[in-house]
Amino acid sequence: MRDHFRKKYQLSKSSKDTSHLSAAQGKVALPRQLAKLIGPETPAKDDGYSLLSAFQGLNFNMGMLGGKQTKSSTPMSVNGEACKGIQGMCVSVRQAACVRIQRGMCVCPAGTVAGLGVEGVNPARGGPAERGGGRGLRRFEEIPHTGSSGWLNLVKFWREDRFKLLHKHMERTFNTLGPIYRERLGTQSTVNILLPSDISELFRSEGLHPRRMTLQPWATHRETRQHSKGVFLKNGAEWRADRLLLNREVMMAPAVRRFLPLLDEVARDFCCQLATRVEKDGGKEERGHSLTIDPSPDLFRFALEASCHVLYGERIGLFSTSPSQESQKFIFAVERMLATTPPLLYLPPRLLWRLGAPLWTQHATAWDIIFSHAEKRIQRGVQRLRSTQAAGGGSGGAEGEFTGILGQLMDKGQLSLELIRANITELMAGGVDTTAVPLQFALYELGRNPAVQEQVRVQVKAAWARAGGDAHKALQGAPLLKGLVKETLRLYPVGITVQRYPVRDIIIQNYHIPAGTCVQACLYPLGRSRDVFQDPERFDPGRWGTQESGEGPGGGGGFRSLAFGFGARQCVGRRIAENEMQLLLMHVSEGGMEVDREGDEKAK
């Protein structure tokens, strides 16, 4: 290869020849693409100009073009400034592109090109001197890591059962290796970060079509069962087109005002039923009746009832004394699907499918139950809507009655029924665990912190009185409810990472990260880091009230609360989940119920 380029560019065959350019009337032919990279102002033709003239303002030792790098007593000059401590090659060009030229040399944004250990370079924003305290830009391979073999790491995870406490593993690793590290697990390779300033840099490079890690087990299930994929599993222009249509029905303010009364109805019924249960089964105490329960099953039923009411525009009766076995089976399937997902992320799911591996069988069976349950609901909703349309009422129901997101999507007719099925099923499956679990932790923290509970109750009662029973106005008048949800998700995030594949090379913690690398923000260590939050173990919903008061020196503006993701690719059901949780907590407080906890066991 070296001989080929010597011949093509008329270089000397002697590695000791420092001139390295054969006499060819002072000119060397270059391919058009390389010529344009080196000098955009150069005439667009393959020959007829001087190679050296393309490197304007650059003086360098011609020996570097040979097989070995040679040391020079004269420091290399970049636009008239010397580069000191060079290991490799440091060049300054005017292109804004970021291109890897050869080992140890990288052309970076804003024209800085650096190799290993470069010092003294005057970089642009985010460059080595600013981000790394004067240290040189470091290679991707130098990022601290947990081991080079993904399969050995995976075996350790299985043997030590780390998948159940993956968030704790991340926290320990950050404490050991610092604010950035690489990890290989089976077929997956990621760069993990936690500081808001670094997360901000990551999201600035996500591009028009942000990508996150594909949940391959879910995608394989859709492919093997021949189901269409919803926006959660799509990428590129196809994802964007579907997502923009869904946003109008689930994310925009008018859509929230349409479905908020449905969520409020379910939250009121749940709290009324709970109050009745306490009065009936609770023991008599000085301040009233008291009942000790495990709230988890009730909260899962509430989450499913609320999400179905919003999606289909009808109640499914989970608050009755004998809820249907079908719904209970659906909840169990969601739990099983979520439990089997993490280990399958690091294994080839198609191979497991062909082998009939028990883990894959459990996962696929759980999804089959979820799809079967959703399909029955969707078919019932479609028949009801078509009957309404046939009667001349339109899909909006009588007098503009909101008939659920399913009805809105069908009425618009911009998505095929198959794509509507795929997205409604994903919203239904994702709308149970992601609200039931945070609600349980919110009640737990309110029980642990009576003073916080009293602050929330006082604010909610005042807001409720001013709103005159209007749930939307009441939520706006009680910002502590929003802070309560954010603080709960800070300490107990449901999804422990948010991933992106940057579309351009970026620099994080002074390490070069190539475009296309899977970089993930780790939410559990982020929420408990003393570099980001003051007194992070303290449960304080008020810290979110005024410009994130109490924040630590981590920088990064608003990149401290990422439980629902960020930007165009944030959770599509975010507005449903946020309002669902706030409404339930509002009615618990407004109804005069007091939450206490039994025992002193600390949540993990």
507-531 pLDDT, tens digit per residue, is 999 999 999 999 999 999 999 999 9
User: CA-CA distance, 440 to 494, in Å (whole number)?
Assistant: 12
Which contiguous run of DSSP H or E holds residue 426?
Answer: helix 417-430
In DSSP terms, 184 is beta-bridged to 189
Over residues 151-202, the pLDDT tens digits come to 998 888 888 888 888 999 999 999 999 999 999 998 889 999 999 999 999 9
When pLDDT is cut at 50, 70 and 90, the band that residue 115 belongs to is: very low
Annotated binding site for heme: 571
Residues 244, 342, single domain; the answer is yes
Residues 110, 247, single domain; the answer is no
Over residues 49-104, the pLDDT tens digits come to 333 333 333 333 334 334 444 444 444 333 333 333 333 333 333 333 333 323 33
Q: State the virtual CA torsion across 86, 92, 97, 103 in degrees, nearest 10.
A: -30
Contact criterion met (CB below 8 Å) for 428 and 308: yes
User: CA-CA distance, 512 to 521, in Å (whole number)?
Assistant: 17
Note the Cα 120 to chain centre separation in Å. 36
User: CA-CA distance, 367 to 327, in Å (whole number)?
Assistant: 14
Residues 92, 231, single domain; the answer is no
Q: What Rg do the C-alpha atoms of the chain give, in angstroms?
A: 29
Q: Which of 137, 158, 175 is the last residue of a domain?
A: 137
Residue 210 in domain: no
pLDDT of amino acid 414:
86
Residue 365 in domain: yes
Over residues 482-501, the pLDDT tens digits come to 999 999 999 999 999 999 99
pLDDT of amino acid 299:
94
pLDDT of amino acid 114:
34
User: CA-CA distance, 561 to 544, in Å (whole number)?
Assistant: 9
What DSSP character marks residue 84? B
Contact criterion met (CB below 8 Å) for 251 and 572: yes
Over residues 439-494, the pLDDT tens digits come to 999 999 999 999 999 999 999 999 999 999 899 999 999 999 999 999 999 999 99
Residue 92 in domain: yes
User: CA-CA distance, 140 to 125, in Å (whole number)?
Assistant: 19
The two three-digit tokens of residue 122, written as one number: 């005057």
Annotated binding site: 571
Residues 239, 120, single domain; the answer is no
Residues 474, 343, single domain; the answer is yes
Residues 265, 413, single domain; the answer is yes
- Count of structural domains, the chain: 2
pLDDT at position 244 over 90: yes
Alpha helices in 497-592 (DSSP H): 523-527, 574-590
φ and ψ of 513, to 5 deg:
-120, 115
pLDDT of amino acid 56:
37
pLDDT of amino acid 400:
59
How large a percentage of the chain has pLDDT more than 90? 50
User: CA-CA distance, 342 to 150, in Å (whole number)?
Assistant: 15
User: CA-CA distance, 20 to 5, in Å (whole number)?
Assistant: 12
pLDDT at position 116 over 50: no
When pLDDT is cut at 50, 70 and 90, the band that residue 123 belongs to is: very low
Q: What is the mean pLDDT of residues 308-336?
A: 87
Alpha helices in 282-295 (DSSP H): none
pLDDT at position 132 over 50: no
Backbone CA torsion sign across 101, 102, 106, 111: negative
Residues 554, 457, single domain; the answer is yes
Contact criterion met (CB below 8 Å) for 364 and 353: yes
**86 to 117, 133, 258, 433: CA distances (angstroms):** 6, 17, 62, 53
Q: Which of 122, 137, 152 is the last residue of a domain?
A: 137
Residue-by-residue DSSP string for 137-176: PB-GGGS-BS-S-HHHHHHHHHHHTGGGGHHHHHHHHHHH
pLDDT at position 433 over 60: yes
User: What pTM was computed for the model?
Assistant: 0.74
Amino acid code (one letter) for 262: L
Q: Is 161 exposed, middle or buried (0-12, 13-18, 19+ CB in 10 A)?
A: exposed
Residue 6 in domain: no
Q: Show the domain range for 104.
A: 81-137
φ and ψ of 112, to 5 deg:
-90, 130
Residue 465 in domain: yes
When pLDDT is cut at 50, 70 and 90, the band that residue 342 belongs to is: confident
- Give the CATH number of the domain where residue 265 resides: 1.10.630.10
Residue 296 in domain: yes
What does the angle CA 270 – CA 250 – CA 365 come to, to the nearest 5 degrees? 70
Residues 246, 108, single domain; the answer is no
Amino acid code (one letter) for 107: V
pLDDT at position 604 over 60: no
Contact criterion met (CB below 8 Å) for 123 and 130: yes
Residue 67 in domain: no
Q: Which of 116, 137, 158 is the last residue of a domain?
A: 137
Phi-psi sector, 29: left (phi>0), alpha (psi -120 to 50), beta: beta
Contact criterion met (CB below 8 Å) for 590 and 274: no
Residue 345 in domain: yes
pLDDT at position 118 over 80: no
Q: Which long-range contacts (CB under 8 A, 24 or more apart) does 236-243 make?
A: 236/209, 237/209, 239/209, 240/208, 240/209, 240/568, 242/415, 242/419, 242/423, 243/568, 243/569, 243/572
pLDDT of amino acid 590:
86
Residues 352, 227, single domain; the answer is yes
Rounded mean pLDDT of the chain?
A: 78
- Looking at per-residue pLDDT, the higher value among 316 and 173 belongs to 173
User: CA-CA distance, 318 to 320, in Å (whole number)?
Assistant: 6
Residue with tokens 């005002």: 257
Over residues 575-593, the pLDDT tens digits come to 999 999 999 999 999 877 7
Determine how many CB atoms are found less than 10 A away from the CB of residue 313: 22
User: CA-CA distance, 575 to 591, in Å (whole number)?
Assistant: 24
pLDDT of amino acid 283:
73
Q: 294 CB contacts (<8 Å, ≥6 apart)? A: none
pLDDT at position 33 over 50: no
In DSSP terms, 81 is beta-bridged to 78
